[in-house]
Amino acid sequence: MDWALVWQEWRALPGVAGEVLVSPGLLLAVLVGSVMGLIFGMLPGISAVMAMSLLVGLVFKAPVEVGLGLLIAIYVGAMASGGVTAILVNIPGTPAAAATGVDGFPMATQGRAREAIQASFSASFAGAVLGEFLTLLLLPFIAVIALKLGDWEIFLVALIGVTLAGALAGKSPLKGWLAAVFGLIIAMVGMEEIWGHPRFGYTDEMNRGFEFVPALIGLFGLSEVLQVLKQKAPYQIKGESGRIWIDFRLLYRQARNLVRSVLVAVGIGIVPGVGESAACWASYDLAKRGSKRKDSFGKGAVEGVVAAEAANSGTAGGALIPSLVFGIPGSGPTAILIAALFIYGFRPGPMLMIDEPGLVARIVVLFWLAAVGTAAGAVVLSPYFLRILSSPREILLPIAASLGVLGAWAAGFTRFDIYSMVGFGVLGFILRQRGFPLAPMVLGILVGGIADLSLRRALQTHSGDWMTMIKSPASLLLLLILFVTIGGQLRAWWTSRPKATSGN
Amino acid sequence: MEDRQNGDLLLGVAFVLFGAVVGVEALRMPYWERETFFLAPGFVPLLTGVALSLLGVVYGIRAGLAGAWQNWAGWFRDLRTNPENKRLMVLLAIVLVYTVGLVGRMGFFWATLVFHGTIFGYLRIGGWLKWLGVSIGATLFVAVLLPRLFEMPLPEIE
């Protein structure tokens, strides 16, 4: 174990924190990002991923820390405020807040909207801080281990990511796997790295391959715009939040629930591609099982709100680990952070801590700062939540669509990127309509290149002998995880297969 | 009410066909010789194409077992008459005209103004004064303010 590398990021933390705190431009960017995130997260139809994907193409002109700070703050802010919509309208502002509404909405209908929102923001704040703390502890260890991995292991990590994301990101593993394989195929388009052969190079632009940012904007942005605007139905708001504060007494009372939820969230976050949507349900379920008042869950239990919100904010930390260590995103928003890191010239992967000492500590500090900015923003904005929620979607979403066009254009300054954004938007819309999760597809697009290169290199090195895959203990362990994942999901899927329905 | 299984079956067939096309295209790529077989550019695309087709077959069969072979007439009728689908088609047409028809064929500001004006008009955001104000304001934000702020070139007229 290279302890010097493990210590490096921990030692860098105080210095980095000091630098960040005396940088007014960065502080302003984080504050602005937090407020933007709070507003975007509250509006149904504009998720954290969508807001980040619209902006990632634009921020590349800003200094590195300002750009990253802005994106991270939007992420943290949106994660925290998605719960407000779930509580007041019973529609999650972000998919990650779905579990929050199970108890939050009944609380609002009982006239306890302020209590629910205060609990939601307090848990989000604690979840973000604790989640990032755990990340800072774990990430250097995993990064040092990752440095020892060879081509087989890298390929297996990518394959496990795609398989697990496919299995866990949606309700049906089959749909998740289809989406993931589709993403892998999209990643194959363009110049391959070993021979320089243009795959599927039907046009000059396709020789270059699909840019990641337009694909993200299309899948998460345009598809969402179409999805929301095709419905006419307005929504009803139950209750009003009034001024809220971060309730430290509640956090103390719920400490056990909180820590358990964050541990689950970080654990799930580490699994590539799965992210917040799965973590909030897993933590909610554990909180219910561990509670003495199981019957109150679903009827307005504050523990349910705390578990769900601590988990969706805590996942960000876990999701950073595969993102920074392997370049494989742990969730949708971290996929965009990876894209931003590439835009700024960083290469997320096993060498990141060696190439960019202190970057991990810097990102963790930015997350902490964003958590504070979000909490402060929530306190200031809370009396206006009702007004923000009432913002007309018919005005905001078309502007988001034209912003998406601008963001796609900014990715490479070609009209092909705009066309591919629209293409991915339509594809994303169709798949969402059929209940497909989009995160596995994004993961497939992102890891396709890594998986392709490492598999072919490993096979060539070992003269096509697949059995060499099981000769190292690490790859054997990874293979075991892969088989357990696939086997478990196939079993669950088979037992839940639909029965034939007559006459419809 | 739309029957989900019919759409699932169609999507399954689309996956199978797309996977097959990818597989065939992968086999047409070079370097499939014995000594470079595993390094061939088409090796992984072939595997993924086959995987997509196989998963598509399972997906289609699953939909078929759940009753997708029946009620096609009802499914097409729903597709045609559902007001949400009609609304979607109009929105999609507006987006396509903007991105494919206008951007690059007229100045970005004017293309975006036409897009905003059309879509806000279709969505009936309010009286004509609000429609005009919001259209111009949104266009100034997207096509003037942001590009200046981030110093980015805009799509030029070809």
Query: What's the confidence (pLDDT) of residue B68?
Result: 76
CA angle in degrees (0–180, nearest 5) for A203-A204-A207: 90
Q: Per-residue pLDDT averaged across A354-364, rounded? A: 92
Of the candidate ranges A190-199, A347-356, A462-471, the one whose mean pLDDT is the lowest: A462-471
How many domains are there within chain A? Answer: 1
Of A58, A394, A425, the CB nearest to B125: A394
State CA B90 to chain mean position distance. 14
Q: Which residues of B touch A426 (CB under 8 A)?
A: 92
- Taking only the tens place, the pLDDT of each residue in A150-167 is 888 888 888 888 887 776
Domain assignment present for A73: yes
pLDDT in tens, B28-82: 999 888 778 888 999 999 999 999 999 999 999 988 888 877 777 878 888 888 8
B:124-143 residues touching chain A, CB 8 A cutoff: 124-125, 134, 138-139, 141-143
Average pLDDT over residues A135-141: 91
Nearest-by-Cβ selection for B38 from A230, A459, A502: A459
**Strand pairing partners for A190?**
A199
Query: Domain for residue A326, yes or no?
Result: yes
Residue of B nearest to A417 (CA): B99
A177 touches chain B (CB under 8 A): yes
What's the pLDDT at A304?
93
Q: pLDDT at residue A322 above 80?
A: yes
pLDDT of A309 reads 94
What pLDDT, on the 0 to 100 scale, is given for residue A491?
A: 77
Q: Between chains, do A456 and B116 touch, taking CB under 8 Å as contact?
A: no
DSSP letter string, B49-66: HHHHHHHHHHHHHHHIII
Q: Which residues of B touch A230 (CB under 8 A)?
A: 84-85, 87-88, 91
- With a CB cutoff of 8 Å and minimum separation 6, the contacts of A297 are A102, A103, A287, A288, A291, A303, A304
How far is the C-alpha of A175 from the C-alpha of A436, rounded, in Å? 5
A498 domain residue, yes or no:
no
Which residue from B minimizes the CA distance to A459? B38
Question: What is the count of residue pairs from A and B with beta carbons less than 8 Å apart?
Answer: 178
- Among partner residues A188, A419, A434, which is closest to B44 by beta-carbon distance? A188
Task: With a cut of 80, say whether residue A145 has pLDDT above it.
Answer: yes
Give the one of B51, B92, B155 whose C-beta lies nearest to A181's C-beta: B51
Q: Look at residue A382 and tell me if it is in a domain.
A: yes
Round to whole Å and give the CA distance between B113 and A306. Answer: 45
Question: Out of A183-197, A351-365, B69-83, which region has the weakest mean confidence (pLDDT)?
Answer: B69-83
The helix/strand count (H/E) of chain A reads as 23, 2
pLDDT band for A496, please (50, 70, 90 cuts).
low
Share of chain A above pLDDT 90, in %: 35
- Segment A138-147 mean pLDDT: 86
Does the structure's ipTM exceed the value 0.90? yes
Mean pLDDT of A492-503: 56
Domain ranges for chain B: 4-80, 83-149
Over residues B132-156, the pLDDT tens digits come to: 999 999 999 999 998 887 778 898 8
Which of A20-24, A116-120, A281-285 has the lowest average pLDDT?
A: A281-285
pLDDT digits (tens, 9 = 90+) for A51-93: 888 788 777 778 888 999 999 999 999 889 888 888 888 776 6
pLDDT at A95: 67
Instruction: Please determine, for residue B131, whether its predicted confidence score (pLDDT) is greater than 80.
Output: yes
- Taking an 8 Å cut-off on Cβ atoms, the answer to whether A426 and B25 are in contact is no
A405 at interface of B, judged by CB pairs closer than 8 A: yes
- Domain assignment present for A353: yes
A166: containing domain: 3-232+243-493
Q: For the beta carbon of residue A425, count every other beta carbon within 10 angstroms.
A: 28
Q: Quick check: A499 pLDDT over 90?
A: no
The nearest alpha carbon in chain B to A465 belongs to: B38
Sign of CA dihedral B121, B125, B126, B131: negative
Nearest residue on chain B to A190, judged by CA atoms?
Answer: B41
Contact (CB, 8 A) for A119 and A247: yes
Please name the residue ranges forming H helices in A244-389: 248-253, 255-270, 276-290, 302-326, 332-343, 352-355, 359-381, 385-389
Mean pLDDT computed over A90-105: 80
Query: Which residues, numbered 423 to 442 in chain A, qualify as contacts with chain B under a Cβ-Cβ cut-off of 8 Å?
Result: 425-426, 430, 433-435
Cβ distance B20 to B12 under 8 Å? no
What tokens does A397 get? 């979403």
For residue B24, what pLDDT is reported? 96
The predicted model gives A114-140 an average pLDDT of 94
Residue A374 has pLDDT above 60, yes or no: yes
User: What letter does residue A272 receive in the DSSP assignment?
Assistant: T
pLDDT surpassing 80 at residue B1: no
Q: Is the pLDDT of residue A503 over 60?
A: no
CA atoms within 13 A on the CB side of A502: 0
A207: closest CA of chain B, how far (Å): 13
Question: Per residue in A235-255, pLDDT tens?
Answer: 666 666 678 899 999 999 999
In a domain, A173, yes or no: yes
pLDDT of A504 over the 60 cut: no
Within 8 A by CB and 6+ apart from A232, the residues are: B83, B84, B87
Residue A32 has what pLDDT?
93
More confidently predicted of A24 and A393: A24
Confidence of residue A182 (pLDDT cuts 50, 70, 90): very high
Rg of chain A over CA atoms, in angstroms? 22
pLDDT in tens, B8-26: 899 999 999 999 999 999 9
What confidence tier does A497 reach under pLDDT thresholds 50, 70, 90?
A: low
Alpha-carbon distance A258 to A124, whole Å?
Answer: 10
d(CA A116, CA A304) in angstroms, rounded, equals 10
Instruction: Give the Cα separation of A462 and A456 in Å (integer).
Output: 10
Residue A501 has pLDDT above 60, yes or no: no
Q: Which helix (H) or strand (E) holds A190?
A: strand A190-191
Q: CB distance from A235 to chain B under 8 Å?
A: no
pLDDT at A311 > cutoff 60: yes
Judged against a pLDDT cut of 90, whether residue A127 lies above it is answered with yes
The reported pLDDT for the residue numbered B3 is: 56
What are the DSSP calls for B67-97, one per residue? IITS-HHHHHHHHHH-HHHHHHHHHHHHHHI
What integer pLDDT is reported at residue A94 of this predicted model?
A: 67
Q: Which of A441-445, A500-504, B111-115 has the highest mean pLDDT?
A: B111-115
Q: What is the DSSP letter of A219?
A: I
- Furthest-apart CA atoms within chain B: distance in Å: 71
Residue A502 forms contact with B (CB below 8 Å): yes
Handedness of CA A40, A41, A44, A47 (dihedral sign): positive
Residue B61: its pLDDT value, please? Answer: 92
Q: Which residues pair with A198 in a beta bridge?
A: A191
Q: What is the mean pLDDT of residues A360-365?
A: 93
Shortest CA gap A495–chain B (Å) = 13
Q: Which residue has the tokens 């699909």?
A: A210
Rounded alpha-carbon distances, angstroms, from residue A218 to A393, A427, A433, A443, B87: 18, 8, 15, 15, 19
A237 part of a folded domain:
no
